[in-house]
Structure 1
């Protein structure tokens, strides 16, 4: 079979025989094979570099580019959030003493300059994927940072909590001790689950140890009461206060003022009712206070 090519410009015919047709076909086949090989290599390279498969975007090239542009906008929003996260990292570092530099990204490096005269260009899919991977790495780094912060703060919290061994008030005068006594309201023998300290209304009440405020509220019998959790199942209660100075959920230190002495609730006069409990069971406060030897107002052993 022969193919005749006619050129109007040259006004002459060129005849291609079977041998010429074979050469042209081979050339076209090689071109197609080369294109497929190049595309396969690009996909493999992208997969190896980013650890993901090349995504397939539906639609025409124009619609695909619009999708890429939308993803680029989302990426910009993600990077803005990372900037805010870096700022928070610095503030947290100030509180914990952790060096923030190893945990911060390069996206917050100072940048600037005049607007270029060169028209802005859209991102390619490869560039977008590379930027997303960078943002993902920064998120992982930030998670590592806050995991470390959590460990440090938890350790500090454990160090803050301790046995309630300090006197809860500067007044060392005791009106009732732990154990059986005659109830002043009904004259019956009842078990007193704490220790009472006499004092003037408004006398400061201190935390016998560092801990977390479990409750700070009014109770029909305890009156205004503060209850602290000290860890390991130990809690302390401070009742009949005239005023509460802390709120539920707060963390207090040993010796911190938490309330003012009063006579609210089931009380015959101004005093502090002080309790220590282990897993909900009342304990003799003298055992804990004597362990300290000296607290805010000295040792109870000699009083």
Structure 2
């Protein structure tokens, strides 16, 4: 296409040569400008009409606003339904946690019924019907309250179980010599040195010299000395006026003030002091009064027999 532009005043002309590509670009540019102008005009006329209250514009504005509100409501409903389903899953998990908490509370010595949290008033049943935002907020508040109560209860149960574990670890139920056979039991016997009847205040475990002596329970070493009768002796305080005594050791590995754990190697079997051969003399004293150690060791054997995967050692 050839376009000739003539300027009569300047008495000259100019020719433009337009091919197909240039015509398409011009058409697209013109269409774009026309569309932008139309959109700007529409918005200006629409906004001006709404502000000025022209007939028909108010109802049109309500229709547009209602459409936007309906779209927003649909979006909120979809999100609220998704959150409500998630909330229902959380409520189901809380029921499982409460059931587990009741069983653990019973093991800890609590009344399982006390662990059961009362149902919150006004709560919505998730999944029974679509929830309103207010019902969803109320259900979330009830779930938060239930979770807080369960956490408090489980904390108390954990504390009780921890106390029980500590108490069990402080009771002398661990045999002080591994696989040791009891020689002289607790009670009256013929003294092997004097040949007269006398009270034997502990258990004797015959063993080779150097055999490890183990702490029957955790505690604090309160005595570590050489005694004329007991030889190299160790006493461990387990609290609650409970003390264990280990006598005739050939070597002592602890000193006064040491903290020891259940089963810790504290000394070696020997024959020091008033002894006729290598053995461990083991005593349990409650408030300074000798007790039969077999009662404590048998309790430990019974407890071991109740643990899964373990067998209680035979009572000797």
- Smaller-chain TM-score bracket: 0.3 to 0.5
Question: Higher RCO, 1 or 2 (CA under 8 Å, sep at least 6)?
Answer: 1
Find the structure with the greater CA-based Rg: 2
Please give the TM-score of this superposition, normalised by the length of structure 1: 0.46
